[in-house]
């Protein structure tokens, strides 16, 4: 069981980078080439490639070469579902924080 926690922590470390999460978000609709991700994310190709290499080494994404292009996809759709779930938790947390802040503001400021 301890090995499972170690693996879990390693995956969480892999996903603990905003650019990698953006890459996963770009792949939620399916396979994309590095060039497509560079255009979509507006990041340098070297940066996208570096992050993809980390994601691939951890088994989060899979790559396929076709001619000069390399296409990536999420290795398991449950990864996207896990990211969606975490995003929902964060949105709920943010909404609660906003409500709590408004509760303590004077009425004139709480309305904005």
Instruction: Note the pLDDT tens digit of each residue in 58-100.
Output: 999 999 999 999 999 999 999 999 999 999 999 999 998 887 7
Whether the predicted model's global pTM rises above the 0.85 cut:
no
Who has greater pLDDT, 103 or 26?
A: 26
- The CATH number of 1-75 is 1.10.10.10
Pair 22, 56: CB distance under 8 Å: no
Beginning with the edge strand found earlier in the chain, give each strand of the sheet holding 61-66 in spatial order: 32-33, 69-74, 61-66
Distance from C-alpha of 23 to C-alpha of 20, rounded to nearest angstrom: 5
């Amino acid at each position: 069981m301890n090995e499972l926690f170690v693996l879990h922590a390693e995956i969480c470390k892999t996903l603990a980078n905003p650019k990698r999460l953006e890459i996963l978000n770009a792949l939620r609709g399916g396979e994309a080439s590095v060039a497509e991700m560079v255009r979509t994310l507006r990041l340098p190709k070297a940066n996208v490639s570096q992050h993809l290499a980390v994601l691939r080494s951890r088994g989060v994404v899979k790559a396929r070469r076709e001619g000069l292009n390399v296409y990536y996809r999420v290795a398991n759709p449950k990864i996207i579902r896990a990211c969606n779930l975490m995003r929902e938790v964060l949105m709920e947390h943010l909404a609660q924080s906003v409500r709590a802040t408004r509760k303590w503001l004077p009425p004139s400021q709480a309305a904005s």
